Amino acid sequence: MKKDSLKKYIMIGAFALILFGIASINFKSLDKTKTQISSPTLDTHEYDWYFNPREDGKQPSPIKEADFFKKYGAYYVGNPNEKVIYLSFDAGYESGNTPKLLDTLKKHNAKAQFFVVESYIKSNPELIKRMEKEGHLVCNHSKSHPSMAGITDFEKFKEEITSVEKAYKDVTGKEMPKYFRPPMGKFSEQSLKYTQDLGYKSIFWSFAYVDWYEKKQPTHEFAKNKIYSRTHPGAIVLLHPNSSTNTEILDEVLTHWEKEGYKLKTLDYLNNKK
């Protein structure tokens, strides 16, 4: 009887170990699925965002090689039949111009979006609070400004975005708006899918010009002519706040847009209209 009982317990124990092993494999598979949300078969080829600018008041044509970006909640322009402009600033560091830019925006009751990196938030908490308080959107521009197309590991990709979210919430107590601008405009099909999986819209642009070299700033007239000639309905305008020229001409530019019948809105308006 003792031998039979012992044999019975051994068989029960072995069966339990088998079940435990199967469960462990399933949990590991589930965990892997959670981590790697996106299909590993998506293209990782890196593209540089570009478009063919126009000076006839019409929207530019986007990059043809990567028309798949539309599938992943990516925008570069708004409604072609609506005189709305989405003004955005990409900020990697503070040059001292942002307070004046905010003053000018407030004067015109105009709203903008500021795409910032993690270090900007941590170094300028009061500016971040002011942006949010005055109705602007503070949006995600990554932790360290890398090519997101070059990050194929989902967890590393996720860290570039969620660390900025955390920094923003630590400063404001609020959730960060779910808009992401790929650093340098570099992207791949996989990076757009990863961004979408994290709940974000990828935001490109339909106007930009060379304004970021602080020691080689464009003249006021050159900048205004470039901006005015390429303004179009639904424009997503990309400027850099470290530009002294942008800071000095913004009042005139906003006045010009107002006279032309344009209204400045946030990306929340664009997202709700789509």
- Burial of 36: CB neighbours in 10 Å, binned 0-12, 13-18, 19+: middle
Catalytic residue among 90, 141, 211, 232: 90
Catalytic residue among 136, 141, 232, 240: 240
197 classed as catalytic: no
136 classed as catalytic: no
How many secondary structure helices (H) and strands (E) does the chain include? Answer: 9, 12
* Alpha-carbon distances, residue 239 vs 152, 164, 182 (angstroms): 29, 21, 15
As a whole number of Å, the CA-based R_g of the chain is 24
**Which residues are catalytic, by number?**
90, 240
